Amino acid sequence: MTTSKPYTLPAGTYFVGDPGYCFADHDRWMRLLESSNYFEGDRQAIKFESDNYVAAFSTMYGDGEYNGFPVDAGLLGCVHESLIEENCKPHLAKLGKIVTFHEDFIVQCCKDGTINIGNIRIFTGDDPYEEVWGDSEYFDNEEEDVVESRIKMDEQKQIDLLREALAGAVVTLTEVYKYAHMDSRTLQMVTDAMDEAESTLQLTDPH
């Protein structure tokens, strides 16, 4: 795709979007395409049936949706309101934008697929804000490292919580041991529980 020449269009109200949505009459649409040489070369903005303009540029990847603008004819541009067929008008608000340009404005398509219509920019090529990296394996590994790091952090948090719970259990068991009246069997069970809790605390000590 090459950068088109800039075309200056007169102020007025235009539909901005796929121009095909403005022409329900197939024969009329075909006359427009033939008059503009299918919007190729230096015929990307033309007067049609009057002194009013239609401008259109091919999108880089054909039909689809670009920045919220649906495309079914592989084209994006603008159509003067006087050329829009009446039965098309009720649907256009969902298919593009009705814009009033108060001054003459420039339309142009850039080699990266960006279509400029006045101050409206529509990206039909690759996303200009997305950096493309060839070494996907590097980023897969990096992602795995991040996940592993998070798992380790979660494990340490669980260990810290466990230590707090065990420390509380040791204190409780110690108090029970001091003040409760227990038979020898119960006393032995409490003593064993204290020893087990203290051993577990030592195993979870990060130092």
The model's confidence at residue 134, banded by pLDDT at 50, 70 and 90, is very low
Reported confidence tier of residue 136, pLDDT bands at 50, 70, 90: very low
Q: Is the dihedral of CA 26, 14, 107, 1 positive or negative?
A: negative
Tell me the DSSP string of the chain: --PPPPEEE-SEEEEEE-GGGG---HHHHHHHHHHTTTT-TT-SEEE-SSS-EEEEEE-TT-SEEETTEEESSSEEEEEEGGGS-GGGGGGHHHHEEEEEESS-EEEEE-TTSEEEETTEEEE-SS-TT----S-HHHHHHHHHHHHHHHHHHHHHHHHHHHHHHHHHHHHHHHHHHHH----HHHHHHHHHHHHHHHHHHHHT---
pLDDT at 140 over 80: no
Average pLDDT over residues 164-180: 64
pTM, to two decimals: 0.62
Contacts of 65 (CB under 8 A, 6+ apart): 71
How does the average pLDDT of the chain come out, rounded?
82
What are 45-62's pLDDT values in tens digits? 999 998 999 999 999 999
Which comes out higher in pLDDT, residue 194 or 26? 26
* pLDDT over threshold 90, residue 197: no
Instruction: List, for residues 73-92, the tens digit of each pLDDT value.
Output: 999 999 999 999 999 999 99
Of 120-124, 133-137, 142-146, the range with the lowest mean pLDDT is: 133-137
Which of 22-36, 39-53, 183-197 has the least mean pLDDT? 183-197
